[in-house]
Structure 1
Amino acid sequence: MTLTTYANAIAFIELIVAILKDIQLVPGLSLWLIIRVGIFVPIFWGLFLFVRSIWFRSAG
């Protein structure tokens, strides 16, 4: 397991923890949370993979 993979796993776990905290704080807005996660997570994940691929190309 490379350092980058490890960092990615930690970031993903932190994201899940933040989402779970959000659900606990605002139980009435769980539908809005599901919509928000469904829209923004794929966008951010795509951007993250895009930036990472550029970074790997520039790093060689």
Structure 2
Amino acid sequence: MTPNVGGIDRSLRILVGLVLIALAATGTVGWWGWLGALPLLTGLMGWCPPYAMFGISTCKTKG
């Protein structure tokens, strides 16, 4: 898996994922808040499957 998520994109994914999970854990939002695990995981891994399918990369370096 070649990294295709970089910099600001990666930071935002991690932040949004953590916020959604926290909101779901506190009962502020419904079950869909647990979907925050998806952006969190893609941000932590640095790889996004849809980006790979469409040939998109926000990562400055090619790994």
Same fold by TM-score, threshold 0.5 exceeded? no
TM-score (norm 1): 0.42
TM-score (norm 2): 0.40
**Greater share of residues in helix:** 1
User: RCO (CA 8 Å, sep 6+): is it higher in 1 or 2?
Assistant: 2
Which is higher, the Rg of structure 1 or of structure 2? Answer: 1
